[in-house]
Amino acid sequence: MIPVLSREFRGILRSPRALAALLATAVAFSLLVLARWPAGGIVDLSGAGSRGAFLVFAAALLGGVLLLVPAFPASSIVRERNQGTLLLLFNSPISAVGLYAGKFLGVLAFAGLVLCTTLPAAAAVYAMGGVDPWQQIALLYAVLVVMAILSIAIGLLVSTRATSPDAAVRVTYGLVFAVAFLTLAPHALTRGTTGLYATIAEWLRRLSPLPVVMHLVGQGGAVGGGLLEKDAGVWQFIVGGLGLAAVLAVATILQLDHRLFDRSRDAGTITDDQSLWVRIVRRLVFLVDPQRRKAGIPMFFNPIMVKEFRTRRFGRFHWLLRLAAVCALVSLLITLAATNGTMDWGVETIGGLLVILQIGLVVLLTPSLAAGLIASERERGGWSLLQSTTLSGWRIASGKLASVAWTMLLVLAATLPGYLVMTTIKPTMWNQVMLALVSVLLAVAMTLALSAAIGAFHSRTAAATVTVYVVLMILYLGPLVIWAFRGDPFGEQVVRGALSITPLGAALSVIGMPGFTQYELIPIAWRIAGTICVASLIVYALQVWRLLRPE
Amino acid sequence: MNAPADPVLDIRNLTKKFGEFTALDNLTLSLRRGQILGFIGPNGAGKTTTIKILVGAMRPTSGAATIAGADCVRDARRIKRLVGYMPDSFGAYDNMRVREYLDFFGAAFGIPRGARAKRIDEVLETTGSGWMQDRYVEALSHGMRQRIGVARTLLHDPEMLILDEPANGLDPQARIEMRDLLLKLAGIGKTLIVTSHILPELSRICDVVAIITQGKLRAFGTLDQIMRDLRQKRTFEVQLCGPAEVETAAAAVREALEPGEREGVKAHATESLVRFDTARSDSELAAILAALVGRRIDVSQFREIPKDLEDAFLSVTRREAPAA
């Protein structure tokens, strides 16, 4: 175990992103304390300033854990397997438990190191007064360590099952965000009800660190209109999180053996060569049979765009149809649950939830598709092949962007039935819905352009995906955190400014989501999104042109 | 259309510098249509730099290179149509079947859909890969990938194929099949540049060989020409009827040679032979044989050991080693 731990920990420390993470954390938290430190010799006896600082400190720390930790375990095992070193470890006396423990503790040690860099800031917050060192600060760190442990356990399990590091990173981030945010959704929909569903929803909510952290900073009811109410269950989260991590660890260890390599090559079965009976059955079962021999790429289609669709597992048409169907179903279920619930949600809240669902899909799916557009080609040797073809830089760049844009538009189109129900209930909202949809479309354009531009500067897909996720999470969640603490410590102007950065705030505002109605964010949010979008597209195009140029 | 005698590839004084480091130094060579050039050199010798300049992925610091009259720098788009390039990395795409993979590259070269399907069938037939058209590219073995890599380079029917290490990592059977494939391509009029570290393979298929070390062309020509140029000493073997006279024969050979060559005479009693290196002429060698026979030594064979590409390569690299 020790050699694996040592190598894992050192390997992480040697990576530039680890250094960047450590430096960024240390600098950010130092600045935070500096910003909130009493100035002019005036001491805040009420402790309000200190609590405000603690609140921002805790939110930033939770964000840091959610954004930084999953990337490392996610690529840990799959990269070793692809490089062939996992087989060497299997042939060494190190047991599966030792191997897992080494990797787990290696990443945990790094997470601990990141948390340690924030201790001086925590001490400064304590020194400002008004914050309990045990009931608040120590418990906050305990919660964050549990979340880190859970993230690592999820990452290692995904890494064992994945076939490429970038896929592992995508799935891990998706699952970690699902644990942190999605687990709150069923509770939101069943609030005020009793019975089995409500109980399950309540237990699911206990897995999210958000209510716990908000409770610890004394803002239990601040976010989500009571969603994160005061009965947060700190110990339930700690026990539940550790229990889930233990289950995931056992599941991972059970898979760490020769079976990881005991897989035959795909024989490439094709429906066209099957018997007539099989062909008939598959024709009935599949709307679009993934195993049918494809026709050639039509001349008027951009070959890069078609290639991008075909090389994505979820880009194949049968998967896109499934994805669209799930989105449509979720959208309708949200509307149904909201309209049939015991509480009067109001059409505006349903609209707000739909906007959050759409933007959530945009932020989760777009980086996974767009961050690796160029990086994956460079990583796998495809770029030099593209260079040797007669395709122009414009066709390569536009084909890649179009492949993501069409996918996202299809997914978003599938969420539209929810709006249809809304406008049927309240036809006067038609204009608001239109403005919200324009905001969502701008969010797609901005996220896509930004992801593509950032990803184009990387030569590894996993690194590109992580960077893009971190940037987008800061961009989209940062303003929401600031909005959540509106009034104290953030003033009206700060909240308005923060919400203007992305079209999310504008969409929520225009749809009339409670808590957002007082902000006039259109057209400023659209202008900012448009500017970021255009600037990102220019940067992306320049980078593609630079990479295609002869050295 | 170039006449067969015209050079398809013409490289003149090609130089590439990265700051102070000279990766390619005044390279000049030419190649005729249908010829196979074996481009060999140790790692970091400048082979890939040359190839990258030829395919338009790198600009030379000075000098020029033309392929079928098209300048590799100025006519980059035409060069892409004239050259089929197979880099040492395959460039696999996930979830793509072989036929889809080739279809994509065919479309990338602007081949119309109907003609493309026909062309894919042709290149699969040429490379003997038709049976794997429905396989997923990422599930192919290394040997299969190399075949598909060659098929990909043939799609747009280029005049010249540049293949970087096509036999690398192949098993003996696959290597033989690759060799036959390359000869077949040369047979249908393609001009090939092939780099490889497996020199015996290259020597079997190449019409001309270029040996490059430290960015400089050290030898260029047919294998025979290179051997003649490099040859300072030839190796001979005297096969005796039995081991008893091996030492006597070795002494006789030493006497006949110059003092500087005497240390190189080796007597192998177990094989009943004497081996020596010499720069002497054929008539002088006849005198040595006569001396052996005159001493009543039973000589069953007196033969020159043929040198191969590996010897030539080693000879060049060792000669240049002190300079490095």
Residue-wise pLDDT for A114-141, tens only, equals 888 888 888 887 877 777 888 888 889 9
- Measuring CA to CA, which residue among A444, A309, A278 is closest to residue A373? A309
Pair (A321, A242) in one structural domain: no
Pair (A424, A319) in one structural domain: yes
pTM of this prediction?
0.76
B198: which residues sit within 8 A by CB, 6+ positions away? Answer: B167, B168, B175
Residue-wise pLDDT for B147-170, tens only, equals 899 899 999 999 999 998 888 777
The pLDDT of residue A9 is 78
Q: Over 70: is that where the pLDDT of B198 sits?
A: yes
Euclidean distance between CA atoms A51 and A42, whole angstroms: 16
Assess if residue A54 is contained within a domain.
yes
In terms of pLDDT, which residue wins out, A217 or A367? A367
Tell me the nearest-neighbour CA distance from A266 into chain B, angstroms. Answer: 6
Task: Tell me whether A318 touches chain B (CB under 8 Å).
Answer: no
Q: How far is CA A398 from CA A19, A47, A134, B287, in A?
A: 34, 54, 55, 78
Give A316's contacts in chain B (Cβ within 8 Å).
95
Tell me the nearest-neighbour CA distance from A83 into chain B, angstroms. Answer: 15
Task: Tell me whether A382 touches chain B (CB under 8 Å).
Answer: yes
The pLDDT of residue A154 is 96
A/B interface, count of CB pairs below 8 Å: 119
Pair (A328, A425) in one structural domain: yes
At residue B307 the predicted structure's pLDDT band, cuts being 50, 70 and 90, is confident
At residue A28 the predicted structure's pLDDT band, cuts being 50, 70 and 90, is confident
Task: Tell me whether A303 touches chain B (CB under 8 Å).
Answer: yes
Q: Which structural domain, as residue segments, surrounds residue A248? A: 2-37+46-258
Pair (A440, A532) in one structural domain: yes
Q: What residue type is assigned to position A158 of the chain?
A: V
B18: closest chain A residue by CA:
A551
In terms of pLDDT, which residue wins out, B141 or A251? A251
Chain-chain contact of A380 with B87 (C-beta, under 8 angstroms)? no
Residue-wise pLDDT for B101-136, tens only, equals 999 999 999 899 889 999 999 999 988 888 888 998
Residue-wise pLDDT for A153-162, tens only, equals 999 999 998 8
The pLDDT of residue A40 is 58
Domains and CATH numbers, chain B: 7-229 (3.40.50.300), 232-306 (3.30.70.100)
Domain count, chain A: 2
Pair (A343, A413) in one structural domain: yes
Task: Tell me whether B130 touches chain A (CB under 8 Å).
Answer: no
Pair (A143, A177) in one structural domain: yes
Chain-chain contact of B89 with A381 (C-beta, under 8 angstroms)? yes
In terms of pLDDT, which residue wins out, A245 or A312? A245
For A15-20, what is the mean pLDDT?
Answer: 75
Pair (A173, A298) in one structural domain: no
In terms of pLDDT, which residue wins out, A251 or B4? A251
Q: Over 60: is that where the pLDDT of B67 sits?
A: yes
Tell me the nearest-neighbour CA distance from A136 into chain B, angstroms. Answer: 49
Cis previous bond, A489, omega within 30: yes
CB burial of A118-152 (b: ≥16 within 10 Å; e: otherwise) equals: beebbebbbebebbeeeebbebbbbbbbbbbbbbb
Task: Tell me whether B17 touches chain A (CB under 8 Å).
Answer: no
Pair (A225, A185) in one structural domain: yes
Between positions 33 and 92 of B, the ones with CB within 8 A of A are 52, 55-59, 73, 76-77, 80-81, 83, 85, 87, 89-92
**ipTM exceeding cut-off 0.90 for this assembly:** no
Tell me the nearest-neighbour CA distance from B137 into chain A, angstroms. Answer: 9
At residue B5 the predicted structure's pLDDT band, cuts being 50, 70 and 90, is low
The DSSP H or E segment spanning B15 is strand B7-18
Task: Tell me whether A267 touches chain B (CB under 8 Å).
Answer: yes
The DSSP H or E segment spanning B63 is strand B62-67
Assess if residue A263 is contained within a domain.
no
Give B97's contacts in chain A (Cβ within 8 Å).
268, 270, 294
